[in-house]
Amino acid sequence: MWDTVQHEPEQVAELLATGAVQLVDVREPYEYDAGAIAGAEHLELAKLNEAWERLDPQRPVVFYCRVGARSAMATEAFRRAGWDARNMAGGIEAWVAHGLPLASPDDVVAPH
């Protein structure tokens, strides 16, 4: 697979709570609209080349998707470009499975 730096969902929650990372959701718009992690920036994977300027290159960035494959691709692309980029292992499904909250209580994980 890829040589990706990964964090477990609990680690991402801690890093996000302290402001140590930027969290980026690379899923499709309908997936993001159904439910997302509070504080995440939505930059769809297919349009990441157009929107990366919205991120701070001086701060670490953690990417996530539904299960971790798309975000691993984004992580590797950003790492090759010199960024401190990481992937959230297991994606938003792992986040929810670990009992971590979504942006609102009614949010769900949309199928891909």
Per-residue pLDDT of the chain (112 residues; tens, 9 = 90+): 445 689 999 999 999 999 999 999 999 999 999 999 999 999 999 999 888 899 999 999 999 999 999 999 999 999 999 999 999 999 999 999 999 999 976 788 888 7
pLDDT for res 4: 67
In a domain, residue 91? The reply is yes
pLDDT for res 112: 74
CA 48 to chain centre: 12
In a domain, residue 103? The reply is no
In a domain, residue 48? The reply is yes
From 15, 45, 65, 88, the catalytic residue: 65
In a domain, residue 109? The reply is no
In a domain, residue 87? The reply is yes
* Structure token pair of residue 38: 């509070």
pTM reported for the whole predicted model: 0.93
CATH number at residue 42: 3.40.250.10
**CA gyration radius for the chain?**
13
* Structure token pair of residue 37: 């992690």
Q: What is the domain extent for residue 10?
A: 6-97
How many domains does the structure of the chain reveal?
A: 1
In a domain, residue 112? The reply is no
The answer to whether 65 is a known catalytic residue is yes
- Find, among 93, 76, 92, the residue nearest to 84 by Cα: 76
SS3 41: strand
In a domain, residue 110? The reply is no
pLDDT for res 27: 97
- Find, among 13, 58, 60, the residue nearest to 39 by Cα: 13
Distance CA 17, CA 45 (A): 24
In a domain, residue 102? The reply is no
